[in-house]
Amino acid sequence: MVNTLIIVGGQWGDEGKGKIVDYLTEKADLIVRYAGGNNAGHTVVVGDQTYKFHLIPSGIIHKDKLNIIGNGTVIDPDVLVKEIEDLEKMGYNIDDTKLMLSSSAHTILQKHKDEDNPETNANSKKIGTTGRGIGPCYKDKIVRTGLRIGEYTHSGTRAAKKLNPLVRDTYIIINDALKKQKKVLFEGAQATLLDIDHGTYPFVTSSNPTAGGALTGSGVGPTNIDSVIGIFKAYITRVGGGPFATELGTEQETKNEESILDLKKELSEEAMSRLKRKNIKRANEGNEYSQGRLLRIQGYEYGTTTGRPRRTGWFDVVAARYAVAINGLSSMVMTKLDVLQNLKEINVCVAYEIDGKKVVNFPLDIKKLAKARPIYETLPGWDEAISKVKSFNDLPKNARRYVERLEELCESPISIVSVGPKRSQTMVLDNSTLF
């Protein structure tokens, strides 16, 4: 029986963790966000309502669930207060029966945001940080000059007064829940390839979004964990700079694209449909940039806040097996399978070629990774729309084969397949690693 479950992103983020966390939260008693700050976002769709979370665990929209922002996070008080007040305007009562903050989490101050500004900090611009002060805050934590949220909330500011009733030594609450065998869900932000230790350094975040970070970021021991689930898109995306072996088109081509916000302003619905049809045609003629843009359009691969396009590429098995290994994954979840519709052929990267040699293990040397050229296995695609399909067996044969082949190549079972953002668009293949 699974009582404790860690959810991690298996790629470079934006895999749809929020939707899966929301889905699994139905059976959870306690949801813990263990790392990162408001440089990450989860979008959850419930009925006709869309929720966008940056700090608060997405379990907050469920009744009778306690949500904890753990000690491994960094908190911008103003951002968190706005998120709380936005929920309150929607009718949610946010008190310490619904939300708690670890007294040991660190506080993002204005100086951290100033230091992180990509306009004035060349390194932030190169890496592609969000400029929200995350890195500088973690830096102060490491050199022991940071301000913990427990201290901050006695400062007398408006945000401090709002947050103070929610602050606790949360490790006590979490471990007490474990003793009572309650179901605890540990929710990660960002993803494996952005991990400060295990990611594509220096193009990484400043925390440990991998499974180990759930332990240090919440105050629980490894023997308490029953299952670790990795979330993977049926393809892969990346935001910001850094090597990307399976990228479709170039980073510069993607940067040159208009944001989705501008496109929607400039183009009618019919014009957007024509743009999509044009990219379908070119994608199936083998144009890599159009393949990448089609994934962007069909998967709405644009930043939640900025609308800027994400870099897109084919599924990378080399990177996925690495994520399976270092997280000790019990199973994988595949999201956005529906986005691959309209492609006659789908490539899957099964190995790299680096300096003329075949490489099957993910290289940690960033220079080697930058030289990596994908070795592809090509699988047949499908034209059928699958977003309304309820059962795995009812998927088109080629869609089923795609999932089964990735399961074989990644050497990990796939427990859930998602074909859309709603809870109802979720297929459970095997619940043995789930609540």
* 126 has pLDDT over 60: no
The verdict on pTM exceeding 0.85 is: yes
Candidates 311, 317, 340, 286; CA nearest to 414 is 317
Q: What percent of the chain has pLDDT over 70?
A: 96
Question: What is the structure's pLDDT at 40?
Answer: 67
Neighbours of 351 (CB within 10 A): 17
Give the separation between CA 33 and CA 54, rounded to whole angstroms. Answer: 11
pLDDT confidence tier of residue 122, bands split at 50, 70 and 90 = low
Tell the burial category of 331 from Cβ atoms under 10 Å away from its Cβ (0-12, 13-18, 19+): buried
CATH T-level fold of 4-231:
Adenylosuccinate Synthetase; Chain A, domain 1 (3.40.440)
Q: What burial class does residue 23 get, using C-beta atoms within 10 Å of its C-beta: 0-12 exposed, 13-18 middle, 19+ buried?
A: buried
Residue linked to tokens 């900090």: 121
Q: pLDDT at position 128, please?
A: 61
Neighbours of 432 (CB within 10 A): 11
Which stretch of 89-103, 109-123, 181-195 has the lowest confidence by average pLDDT?
109-123
Token duo for residue 147: 């301000």
- CA–CA distance, 361 with 239 (Å, rounded to integer): 23
Query: Average pLDDT for residues 374-392, to the nearest whole number?
Result: 97
Distance of alpha carbon 314 from alpha carbon 292, whole angstroms? 8
- Between CA 226 and CA 223 the distance in angstroms is 8
Domain boundaries, the chain: 4-231, 251-313
Which residues are part of the catalytic machinery? Answer: 14, 42
Q: 213: closest CA among 384, 70, 377?
A: 70
Could you tell me the pLDDT band of residue 363, with boundaries at 50, 70 and 90? very high
Average pLDDT, the chain: 94
pLDDT at 240: 86
Mean pLDDT of 245-272: 93
In 224-298, DSSP assigns E strands to 227-233, 236-238
Nearest-5° Cα angle at 102, 93 to 174: 85
Number of other residues whose CB lies within 10 A of the CB of residue 46: 15
Reduced to 3 states (helix: H, G, I; strand: E, B; else coil), residue 322 is helix
Please say if the pLDDT value at position 121 is more than 70: no
* Cα atoms in the Cβ-side hemisphere of radius 13 Å centred on 37: 28
The HSE-up count of residue 34 (CA atoms within 13 Å, CB side) is: 29
Q: How many CB atoms lie within 10 A of CB 279?
A: 22
- Tokens 């309650």 appear where? 182
pLDDT digits over 200-258, tens only? 999 999 999 999 999 999 999 999 999 999 999 999 999 989 999 999 999 999 999 99
- Evaluate whether 229 touches 413 at the Cβ level (below 8 Å): no
